[in-house]
Amino acid sequence: MRLVARGHEGAAAALPQVMADFVARGELLGAMQAQVRRVGGCEQPIRMRGRVDLLDTVTGEVREAWSSQGQPDGTVLVACGNRRASRCGPCSRLYQGDSYQLIVSGLSGGKGVPDSVTAHPALFVTLTAPAFGAVHSTRLGGRCHPRDGVCDHGRARGCFTVHDAQDPALGQPVCADCFDYEAAVLWNAHAAELWRRTRIAITRHLARLRGVTERQVKAQVRLSYVKVAEYQRRGLLHFHLAVRLDHAAPGHTQPPDGYTADLLAAAITAAVASTEVPYPAARGAGQGHACEAGSAGTLDAPAPAHNEATGPLGVPYPAQALPALDLHERPALRAARWGEQLDLSPIPTSDTLAEAAGVLSRGQVAGYLAKYATKHTEALGAALDRRVRAEDLPTLAASSHVTRLVATALLLASRYPRRTGGRPLNLDRWAHQLGYGGHWLTKSRRWSTTYTALRTARKEHQAARNPDPTDQPGEHEQRQPSWQLADLGYRLQGDALLAQHVRNDNSFAREELRQLLHEEQITTALAA
C-alpha cells in the first residue's frame, strides 16, 4: 500500500493502524522520523535505494562507505521539490523563499549584487490580457456590467449585480457563446513571445525618446527584469514585473545620466501599445475540419446538451470525444496584443520613501512577486496542477468556463501546431495551463543570483551543520554513489502522520518567529 501525506491530516482517527505502523518500524522508527524531518515533512517524497562506494585511486580498491539497507524499508527519502503549493506545501514554501531572495537581491542588493542597485531606476509593472468577451466582475464595488439589450444568442448583454468578492460567478462570461475561447487560448499560448518582443521594443523606444540610435542605447544601458505569471479569474494571464535599468557594462553600475524612471515608463508604455505577435494560419483546410484563418468552422465532435446553469459546455462531457466548438474568425483578434490596463509604479530607493508615496517598498514588491511563483492554474481548479487529457473533461474539477478553455486548447492542438515563426505550440500538452507553456518566474541573466546558487549555498550550509562521513573521502579516494528509484510517497500511514506532525511543528515555529519579529518592530518604533 502506498500513501501520501496529503489527505492524512485526520490519520489520528485510524489510531490502531498508525500504532501498528509505529510498532512495525521498531528500532527504525527514530531513523524514519529523522528522514521525515530532513525533507521538511515533504508531502510526496521520493524513496531512493542505493549505496555510496569509495574508490582508492592508487590501489583500485573499492569499499562500501554507506548503504540504504540499514534504513527503514531499505530506502532514503528525498524531497520532491515541487514548486506548486497544491502538490507539496513544504517544497513550494522553500521555492517561494528562494524566489523572494532572488527577487529582493535584484532590488536591494545582496547575494552578489551591490547595495547601489537601490539607486537604479526601477518600476513595478503589471501587463494584462485584452478582453475576449464580457465577464462578471466587481468593477471596484459597483454593478457588474450595467448595459441593456440582448446579445446575438438571446441572452442579456449586461449584468446589474453587485458581486461579492467571493462570488463564484466572478470571471465567468456574461454569455459564454459570445466569449472568444479560441483567441483567449491563443493569447495565453503567445504571451511569452509577446513579452519577448515587448522587451526588444522597449530598447527601441528608449532610443527614440533619447534621440539616439538603438545601437547607442545598447552600448549605454541594459534592461534587467524579473517576471512572474499569474492567472486572472477569467483564465487569462497577466504578468507582474520588476524592471531595472543598469549600465551596459558588466556588473551592476548606475546607468548614465538621463536614463530615469520616467523615461523607462514612457518607453514601456509605447512598447506595450505597439507590440503584437501574429497568430499562425490555421491548419485544416479541405480536411474536414475548420478552414484556414479568415473563415469560420466547427471541429467535428458530438455536441453536448446546452445547460444554462453550467454554460454551453456543461459537464458531463462525452468521454469518448471532445465537445463541438464553433471557431469564428475575428479579424480584430488575429494577433496577440496587450490589454488596455497597464500599471506602472516607481519602486522608491528606501522603505521610508515608499511609505510616504503610498507605494510598495522593494521588500514588498519581492514578496508580492514571490507569492505567485507557487500559485498556478490550480487557483482556477483543483485538477489543473497536472496535465489534462480529453477523457478527464467529464470529471474535471473546474468551472464550465475554465473547462471550456481546457477543451479549446485540446481541440486547437492540431489546428495550430506551430507558432508563427516555426516554434511548436503544443496546446494539448499545456491544456491544463490553458495554452500557456512558458515558465512562471523568469528573469534576465544579470538581474541577480540564480536558483542554483541559492540551492548550492543551502546545501553547503546544511553539510557544515551536519557533516556526512561519506562526503569526506580520503586523500586518494573518490565517491561513487549509485542510486535508483524505489517508489513515491509514504509507504505507511504512520509515516504520513509523522510528516504531518513535522509540517505542523514547522508552521508553529514560523508563526512564533513572525510574532517575535512583529513585537521587535513595535518595540523599536516605540523606542525611536
- Per run of 10 residues, the mean pLDDT along the chain (length 528 residues) is 42 71 87 93 95 87 87 94 87 92 93 93 96 86 84 88 87 91 94 96 96 95 95 93 95 93 96 94 50 34 32 34 49 79 92 83 90 72 84 88 93 87 87 91 93 92 73 76 93 91 91 83 73
Length of the chain: 528
Q: How many angstroms separate the CA atoms of 79 and 45, rounded? A: 5
DSSP state of 307: B
Q: How many angstroms separate the CA atoms of 202 and 218, rounded? A: 11
Q: Which of 236, 406, 435 is nearest to 322 (CA)?
A: 406
Residues 6 or more apart whose CB falls under 8 angstroms from that of 309 comprise: none
Neighbours of 300 (CB within 10 A): 11
Report whether the peptide linkage leading into residue 331 is cis, meaning its omega lies within 30 degrees of zero: no
Which run of H or of E encompasses 50?
strand 46-56
Amino acid 174: pLDDT: 92
- Degrees (nearest 5) of the Cα angle 35, 40, 45? 65
Which runs of E-coded beta strand occur in 232-370?
Answer: 237-247, 277-278, 297-298, 326-327, 335-336, 342-346
Q: How many angstroms separate the CA atoms of 445 and 453, rounded? A: 13
- Degrees (nearest 5) of the Cα angle 57, 60, 62? 100
**SS3 of residue 213 by DSSP:** coil
**SS3 of residue 157 by DSSP:** coil
Amino acid 366: pLDDT: 92
CA distances to 48, 76, 78, 486 from 483, rounded to whole Å, are 7, 10, 12, 9
For residue 19 the three cell numbers come to: 500504532
Neighbours of 303 (CB within 10 A): 13
Alpha-helical runs (H) found in 49-180: 89-108
DSSP state of 434: T
Kindly report, residue by residue over 31-40, the tens digit of the pLDDT.
999 999 999 9
Give 442's strand partners. Answer: 227
Q: Which of 391, 387, 374 is nearest to 431 (CA)?
A: 387
Q: How many angstroms separate the CA atoms of 121 and 255, rounded? A: 8
Residue keyed to cell 513544504: 90
Q: How many angstroms separate the CA atoms of 20 and 209, rounded? A: 74
Q: How many angstroms separate the CA atoms of 67 and 55, rounded? A: 15
Neighbours of 136 (CB within 10 A): 21
Amino acid 528: pLDDT: 63
Amino acid 468: pLDDT: 65
Strand pairing report for 221-231 and 122-127: unpaired
Neighbours of 140 (CB within 10 A): 5
Pair 279, 336: CB distance under 8 Å: yes
Neighbours of 488 (CB within 10 A): 12
Ramachandran region, residue 81 (left: φ > 0; alpha: ψ -120 to 50; beta: rest)? left
Amino acid 284: pLDDT: 58
Q: How far apart are the first and last CA of the chain?
A: 60
Amino acid 420: pLDDT: 75
Q: How many angstroms separate the CA atoms of 18 and 162, rounded? A: 50
Q: How many angstroms separate the CA atoms of 129 and 230, rounded? A: 11
Give 64's strand partners. Answer: 53
Q: How many angstroms separate the CA atoms of 3 and 21, rounded? A: 13
Indicate the pTM of the whole model: 0.82
Q: Which of 179, 64, 104, 11 is nearest to 361 (CA)?
A: 104
164, HSE (Cβ side, Cα atoms, 13 Å): 3
The CA dihedral of 27, 29, 33, 39, to the nearest 10 degrees, is 90
Pair 118, 350: CB distance under 8 Å: yes
**SS3 of residue 53 by DSSP:** strand
Pair 157, 150: CB distance under 8 Å: yes
Q: Which of 118, 44, 105 is nearest to 453 (CA)?
A: 105
**SS3 of residue 413 by DSSP:** helix
